[in-house]
Amino acid sequence: MIDPHRGVSTLSGGTGLVRGSARSLLREFENGKLVPALAAHVGIRYRADEQCGEIGAWRRSVPALLELLCDCALGDLQVVLEYQLPYSPKRVDAVLCGVNPETGAPSYVLVELKQWEEATVVGRALVRFNGRKGQPVLHPAEQVRRYCAHLLGFVPSLARTPSCVKGLAYLHNAHRGADWQLDDFDFDDYSRLYTADQLGDLATDLTATLAVAEDAADRLLRARRAPARSLLSAAAGSVSARTDFVLLDEQQVAFEAVRGAVTEAFAKGGGRKKVILVRGGPGTGKSAIALNLYSAMARRDVKVVHATGSKAFTETLRLAVFGEEERRAEDVFKYFNNFDRATGNELDVVICDEAHRLRAQGENVPDHWRGRVRGQIHQIIEAAKVPVFLLDDHQVVRPSEVGSPADVVEVAATMGCQVVEVDLDGQFRCGGSPLFDQWVRRLLGLAGEPPVPWSELVADTDDEYVVESVDAPHALEAWLRARTRDTDTTGRIAAGFCWPWSDPVAENGKLTLVDDVRIGGWHRPWNTPRGAEVPDAPSASFWASDPRGADQIGCIYTAQGFEYDWAGVIVGDDLVIRNGEWKAQPERTHDKSLRGASGLTFDRLVRNTYKVLMTRGMQGVCVYSVDPETNDFLRKHTA
């Protein structure tokens, strides 16, 4: 039996999963219990009359698969529905778990279910289905192939024998006809495709691949997962060793959009320029896409550069990828203000990561030039045949930053360019938690919905992201130490810019950092000021990546763009709760860039700042506010 609130079974760790034999799951579907259990499992509201969206898809697609398994004598085969990939928000519709009929070795088949009746190929591995317009999607065989690659990349026991994993897409409403286009694809064992008129072939292939084994699902679900690679460690492999990130779903759609635009630009040698705009929240993979794009374009001898507006992020990428090859690193990883004197279409591709940090004009433009110097968006669009902007609306943290989607679209339109937009979803950083970004936006009043306790939001789901709060800064420090001690994990504490920032002082003949961040008897230094060199402390650019940075408190300018396993956040008194509502207090900031900002502008930017700080952790976050009323609010909503 399935408890619709708890799922079919609970494995070690209390993770509710919808799993069972194909026959038992089909029986529970017929009893009306399977779909509510799936809704509870993925954290969406169940409505008995819902026929659209995920619920509608489950009603039609899941029984089609289960009936097929029962019909081909695999009714006792173990099936895991809506299996969440490791360190990813993406879910596989079904994983069929068994053993190889000939060898007895573990055998798993990942299944992507589609209700599509027809589809049109619109680009390399990109399709539109059932006549729909708008953003294309991945070819379903490519989608499941990438799911297989991701799974193999994070489960070492499977990676040792990759042939034990296979993938297929089952389009149970589609029939091959004269205008069928999806067969124009390079299929392999990870990417088969079957339609309704191939049930015999599908049944034959499944019975040749799978035999029943009662513990097959348990083996998969309890298998050790390799640690998630940080962006920086993967960056080095992506560019130098050519071991790219495995991009999933919308990430790969964005990648293909750029590749198609480059091919088109070279073929036409002119015509209307395409500007690629990729939007996504923190952890949706924007930086992974940017690095994969750079790597792929460079292999094709395309003139491509990667650019950001962050000195910390750019310098850290330069070091991670090129080490001491400073000149080569500067040629590849540039800043947004490096394009002010570029000639038209001087470069093939400019990839702007963290594009929300673009400025109206560079900071170092002389006053007598300001009337003649165009903004950075215009400069970059002019400099590249294919400009790419990857950005997040809620990461604008300075009044001078103009990298919103509306800003990019407006400038592109005035320049006569076509804008191709790709929206990313999912949350790849924060433990793959699909709910954490929603929780943060609701907590900070950025979502149009009221705040909700974390435990309530994730109740009866398999979300494992850790969200906690503490009552004192020393407790925050202890929380972080407990999670990083004797492990390979990393952790940092970052704070709102609510304390002065002193220059290093000389003590006993050497420079030392000043303990500026003071909360009662607890005091710690900020990270090293920009341009300063202090023994036993990393420079500002490397606070998030150098192990010595754990001894200092970071700020928005050293944390933005980075990730670490565990995030500690100190909310200063520039943003407090009064009578249940957030109240911005501009007079409490020590950030010179925010002085003079209007009340509404400051309110928006300070909320964005704390959203960035709270979403740096890959495994969990712990928050603390210096204001008692605010801390009570945080305690309530992290419960």
pLDDT of residue 430: 59
Residue 552 has pLDDT above 90, yes or no: yes
- pLDDT at site 341: 84
Of 68-82, 228-242, 323-337, least confident by mean pLDDT is 228-242
> For 626-635, b where at least 16 C-beta lie within 10 A, e where not — what string?
bbeebbebbb
Average pLDDT over residues 250-261: 88
pTM of the model: 0.78
Least confident of 218-222, 228-232, 243-247, 517-521: 228-232
Q: Are 10 and 22 in contact (CB under 8 A)?
A: no
Quick one: pLDDT at residue 452? 97
CB count within 10 Å of CB 584 equals: 20
Residue 134 in 3-state DSSP?
Answer: coil
* Of 515, 518, 519, 521, the residue nearest 502 (C-alpha): 515
Q: What is the pLDDT of residues 178-202, one digit of tens each?
A: 889 999 899 999 999 999 999 999 9
Residue among 279, 263, 253 nearest 408 (CA): 279
Indicate the pLDDT class of residue 71, thresholds 50, 70 and 90: very high
**Averaged pLDDT score across all residues of the chain:** 88
For residues 287 and 377, what is the distance between their CA atoms, to the nearest angstrom?
A: 19
State residue 15's pLDDT score. 44
More confidently predicted of 175 and 48: 175
Contacts of 392 by beta carbon, 8 Å cutoff, 6+ apart: 279, 280, 281, 282, 286, 356
Torsion-angle region of 31 (φ positive above 0: left; ψ -120 to 50: alpha; else: beta): alpha
Q: Is the pLDDT of residue 434 over 80?
A: no
Whether pLDDT at 2 is above 50: no
Regarding beta strands 274-279 and 418-423, do their DSSP bridges make them parallel or antiparallel, or are they unpaired?
A: parallel
Would you state the pLDDT for residue 320? 80
pLDDT of residue 231: 61
Is the pLDDT at 366 greater than 50? The verdict is: no
Domain residue ranges in the chain = 9-222, 231-423, 436-638
What pLDDT, on a 0 to 100 scale, did the predictor assign at position 81? 97
The model's confidence at residue 262, banded by pLDDT at 50, 70 and 90, is confident
What is the residue whose two structure tokens read 């799936």? Answer: 38
pLDDT digits (tens, 9 = 90+) for 576-587: 999 999 999 999
More confident residue, 168 or 361: 168
Q: Residue 406's pLDDT is what?
A: 92
pLDDT for the residue 370: 41
- Mean pLDDT of the region 505-519: 93
> Burial code of 276-304, b = ≥16 C-beta within 10 A, e = fewer?
bbbbbbbbbbbbbbbbbbbbbbbeeebeb
Is pLDDT above 50 for 372? no
pLDDT (mean) for 463-468 = 91
pLDDT surpasses 50 at 142:
yes
pLDDT band at 236 (very low <50, low <70, confident <90, very high): low
CATH for 231-423, among 3.40.640.10, 3.50.50.60, 3.40.50.300, 3.40.50.720?
A: 3.40.50.300
**Burial (CB count within 10 angstroms: exposed 0-12, middle 13-18, buried 19+), residue 443:** buried
* Mean pLDDT of the region 136-165: 94
Residue 5 has pLDDT above 50, yes or no: no
**CB-based burial label for 3 (10 Å; 0-12, 13-18, 19+):** middle
Determine the average pLDDT of the residues in 337-353: 91
Q: Which residue shows structure tokens 């015999």?
A: 200
Task: Give me the percent of the chain exceeding a pLDDT of 90.
Answer: 63
| Phi, psi for 604 (deg, rounded to 5) | -65, -45
Q: What percent of the chain has pLDDT over 70?
A: 90
Indicate if the pLDDT at residue 389 is higher than 60.
yes
pLDDT the model gives residue 237? 55
Here the tokens at position 315 are: 């310098």
User: Higher pLDDT residue, 487 or 221?
Assistant: 221
Phi then psi dihedrals of residue 490, to 5 deg: -120, 155
**Tens-digit pLDDT profile for residues 482-491:** 999 988 889 9
Q: What is the pLDDT of residue 540?
A: 92
Instruction: Using pLDDT thresholds of 50, 70 and 90, give the confidence band for residue 10.
Output: very low
Q: What is the DSSP string of 258-303?
A: HHHHHHHHHHHSSSSPEEEEEE--TTSSHHHHHHHHHHHHHHTT--
Res 369: pLDDT: 40
Instruction: Give the CB-side neighbour count of residue 126, counting CA atoms within 13 A.
Output: 19
Q: Supply the pLDDT for residue 117.
A: 92
How crowded is residue 133: how many other Cβ atoms within 10 Å of its Cβ?
A: 6
pLDDT recorded at residue 232: 59
- pLDDT band (50, 70, 90) for residue 12: very low
| One-character DSSP codes across 19-79 | EEEHHHHHHHHHTT-HHHHHHHHHT----TT--SHHHHHHHHHHHHHHHHHHHTT-TTSEE
- Using pLDDT thresholds of 50, 70 and 90, give the confidence band for residue 454: very high
More confident residue, 371 or 31: 31
pLDDT at 523 > cutoff 50: yes
